[in-house]
Amino acid sequence: MSTNNPTARERKLSLALLRKFFSSMALRILGLAVVDAFAIMLLYLLLRDGVWPIAAILVLTTLVVNVINFSDRLIPLRWMSPALAIIMLMVLYPILFTVYTAFTNYGDGHLLTKIQTIRRISQDTYLPEEGNVYHWVGYRSPEGDFLLWLIDEDGQAFLAQPDKSLEQVSPEDSQIGQLDNAGFPLNVEGYTRMELLDVIPILDSQLAPLEFGDPPLTIRIKSIREAAQLKPRFEYDDEQDLFIENITGTVYFADESQGQFTSSEGVSLNPGYQVEIGWRNFDRLFNSPALSGPFIQIFIWTIVFAFLSVFTTFALGLFLALVYNDPTFPFRKLIRAFLIMPYAIPGIIGILIWRGMLNPHFGVLTTNLVNIVGWTPGWFTHPIWSKVGVLIVNLWLGFPYMMLVCSGALQTIPSEIYEAATVDGAGVWQRFRKITLPLLFVNVGPLLISSFTMNFNNFAVIYAYNEGRPPIPGTITPAGYTDILISYTYRIAFESGRGSDYGYANAITIVIFLIVASITLVQYRAMGTWEEISENV
């Protein structure tokens, strides 16, 4: 018995160890190995495609995940690591990419990499004046050599082999069989004629790269029926990094600062390629005529719009919350549910409904206004009334949120304070000013700030309501009275003569972020006072 016990205990112990091992360590290793294997495969694909920024982030993320899982000190982080990994890949990477792109010329005309651009420009061909066009039929030997029978515009027939001189032939030649109606032999000695179905699968991969006849006027296959003495339009010089145009002899140098092949006369080839251009996007923004134009006016309206949007929605929301907070109000729950409707309907639909109601020709609101008052404002054409219109629409969209938030916050104010105030002889207004408002701000203050920030960049409302219109007359670039900063810069970035300029747009985004961030910071500073109030209470 005494001899058996240790082994039994040992067995039990090892079993427990084994179980423990499999339950945690083994599974963890297994999981990590799977994750890492996928990461390695992805990394291989990314490196193959030359997308090194994503590859770097991937390596970093995978390393962090591994370290967290192997270190015993970082156990709490273990459960967070999937979320952290996703944050790094889906939040951090896009931000870094935005910043990086702001320093490039990425956009229309500069979408491709330089290698792709060179390949694309090298594809262009032209038919020189002395060049001939032929109809062709192909023949193939058992060894896989190709032979073309060419008939030119004068009806002359030629035999062509890759990289060899053309050979003028007549059908009487011994190695040539019978001709078909179009004048092509049914077979050539040692070769088999290729019909359509033979040609199609190898047209681009095997036939297109071949050159027949003597340089410099070699013959290339141009289509399934025609071959021609095509020449490449541009010749790339690897060492000097330039293109020479074969027709005119013009030289196009690679201009690395612009990402384009440009001649000395300033003519550039399409397409250009991506390059890093340093601070030039920012220079362009700060020197843009659009900035010296209506910028100040638009900036002021942006702040006014954001402030009034928050103020009106908060005022109405608070008022309704106070009214329906009174338990004696009949049907208050039903009414409150109805009032939340604008919040439940997708915003864009709400805006479209308002557009319809305000339509000057058929709108319910406007036609009734005309019938009753005999006048209606130009909701979409008048400089002031269009601003009022967009504020009304934004009020409609925003007040239910404020009502919800205030209803909740009102519950947190202890009723004893009100009782004490009533005993001290405070009136309704005094109680609201001195108790409700300050205590409410403690709770909803941060929400008001985030609401302000959101409205500062509320592109959707502005654009869906009237696309920033009506136009401001006489501006240097198009601008509208209801344009806010973000919709105005959208115009600058995407309606310039160059098409969509993503690098520039990203530079603008960064500047707007800095503006919004600093305004928000200032507001949070101001918020500190409210926190003091709550401490004193």
**Interface of this chain with other proteins, residues 103 to 162, rule: CB under 8 A:** 108-109, 111-113, 116-117, 120-121, 123-124, 140, 142, 144
DSSP string, 171-226: TTSTTB--B-TTS-BS-BTTBEE--HHHHGGGIIIIITT--BSSSSS-BEE-SSSE
Tell me which residues in 347-366 interact with other proteins (CB under 8 A): 359-362
Tell me which residues in 246-275 interact with other proteins (CB under 8 A): 270-272
Minimal distance, residue 36 CB to other proteins, in Å: 5
Minimal distance, residue 176 CB to other proteins, in Å: 17
Residue count at the site for other proteins (CB under 8 A)? 80
Q: Is the bond preceding 470 in cis, omega lying within 30 degrees of 0?
A: yes
Tell me which residues in 273-312 interact with other proteins (CB under 8 A): 284, 288-290
Residue 470 interacting with other proteins (CB under 8 A): yes
Say which amino acid occupies 256.
Answer: E
Q: Which is nearer to other proteins, 500 or 520 (CB)?
A: 500
Structure tokens at 483: 């344009």
- Residues 161 and 144: their CA atoms lie apart, in Å, by 12
Residue 325 interacting with other proteins (CB under 8 A): no
- The phi and psi torsions of 149 (rounded to 5 degrees) equal -100, 120
Q: Which is nearer to other proteins, 70 or 338 (CB)?
A: 70
Residue 92 interacting with other proteins (CB under 8 A): no
Which among 167-175, 305-313, 402-410, 489-497 is the span making contact with other proteins, rule CB under 8 A? Answer: 489-497
Binder of other proteins out of 473, 525, 528, 536 (CB under 8 A): 473
Minimal distance, residue 184 CB to other proteins, in Å: 13
Residues sharing a CB contact under 8 Å with residue 320, sequence separation 6 or more, in sequence order: 336, 339, 399, 403
Which among 54-62, 294-302, 312-320, 468-476 is the span making contact with other proteins, rule CB under 8 A? Answer: 468-476
- Residues 133 and 227: their CA atoms lie apart, in Å, by 6
Which among 87-95, 165-173, 451-459, 470-478 is the span making contact with other proteins, rule CB under 8 A? Answer: 470-478
* Site pattern 364..403 for other proteins (x: CB under 8 A): --------------x-xx----------------------
Burial class (CB in 10 A: 0-12, 13-18, 19+), 104: buried
Tell me which residues in 25-64 interact with other proteins (CB under 8 A): 25-26, 29-30, 32-34, 36-38, 40-41, 49
Minimal distance, residue 89 CB to other proteins, in Å: 19
- Residues 358 and 364: their CA atoms lie apart, in Å, by 7
> Is residue 160 within 8 Å of residue 213, measured between CB atoms?
yes
Tell me which residues in 168-227 interact with other proteins (CB under 8 A): 192-198, 200-208, 221-224, 226
Q: Which is nearer to other proteins, 400 or 470 (CB)?
A: 470
Minimal distance, residue 415 CB to other proteins, in Å: 53
Give the C-alpha distances (Å, rounded to integers) separating 348 from 339, 342, 464: 18, 11, 7
Collapsing DSSP to helix, strand or coil, 236 comes out as strand
- Per-residue DSSP letter, 89: I
- Of 413, 417, 418, residue with least CA distance to 440: 413
Minimal distance, residue 354 CB to other proteins, in Å: 15
